[in-house]
Structure 1
Amino acid sequence: MRADQPPTRLSRRTPANRLLAALHDLGDGSGIVLRHEERRWASITFAGSRHALTLRFAGGDAVAAGERLIAALPEHEFAIPGRLIADATIVAVRHVLLPEPNMEIDCEVLMLDED
């Protein structure tokens, strides 16, 4: 999946792709993934992956959808088979008003393996 396109239902359904699709849905389909980095993560008792993302919302309606994503993300219950979202955090938000409203959101998600 290219970072500048929303996830499609035809894309390979890896846990990372399911996370991207869930974030796309949480943003009412208005956000575009500009950056997605995934790296393995482990502690003594858990293993999984840490995801760092930048999402762009362009236009007034899209910015409103992005603001709803910001409000909902920390408590959102993700449904990703075999995975548990242990933490989802907004790291930074950048707003631009002209020439049109635009917002970029940096977020981090810790996804644990349930296996």
Structure 2
Amino acid sequence: MATIHRDPSRNSWGRGTWARLLGQILALADNRGELLRHAERAWASATFAGTRHTIALTFTGDEALAAGERLIDALPEHEFDISGHLVADAMVCAVEHSLLPEPVLTVELEVLLLEDL
């Protein structure tokens, strides 16, 4: 079962935005990943406001594992299309492989999503 952690202090502009972000990330992996957890926290600089998202996904089985590897390769250069927002940074923070009892790949991503004014 997926565990989703949300910061109650985050601003309301992003309601549902994280789901659109997640949908595009999962599409990069042929919808083979399973959400383990999502955390979101407010982010701001002198000129921009947004949220930083940490997303952990797991891929079980050979085909899913291959899809997860494609996600790892594609994520840093992917052009996201999220209305009213832009992805300023998307990176893979951690990757864990295990082989027994079946191949499993766990990937942790961090994405900085900015409000597009």
Structure 1: runs of 5 or more not aligned: 5-12
Equivalent of 2:26 in 24, 27, 30: 24
Q: Secondary structure at the match of 1:98?
A: coil
Structure 2: where are the runs of 5+ without partners? 4-14
Q: Which runs of 4+ in 1 moved over 6 A?
A: none
Hey, what's the Cα distance between the residues in 2 that align with 1:107 and 1:24? Answer: 12
Give 2:105's match in structure 1, choosing from 100, 103, 106.
Answer: 103
1:48 matched to 2:50? The reply is yes
Deviations 1:73-114 (A, max 9, x none): 000000000000000000010000111100000110000000
Tell me how many residue pairs correspond in the alignment.
Answer: 106
Please give the alpha-carbon distance, in whole angstroms, between the structure 2 residues aligned to 1:79 and 1:110: 14
What percentage of residue pairs aligned between the two structures are identical? 55
Distance in 2, Cα, partners of 1:25 & 1:33: 13
Question: Equivalents in 2 of 1:3, 1:101: separation in Å?
Answer: 19
Q: 3-state DSSP class of the match of 2:100?
A: coil
What's the Cα RMSD here? 1.3
Give distance in 1, aligned partners of 2:23 and 2:83.
Answer: 13
TM-score by length of 2: 0.87
- Structure 1 length as normaliser, TM-score? 0.88
SS at match of 1:61: helix
Where does residue 76 of structure 2 map in the other structure? 74
2:2: which partner in 1?
A: 3
Shift of 1:3: 2.9
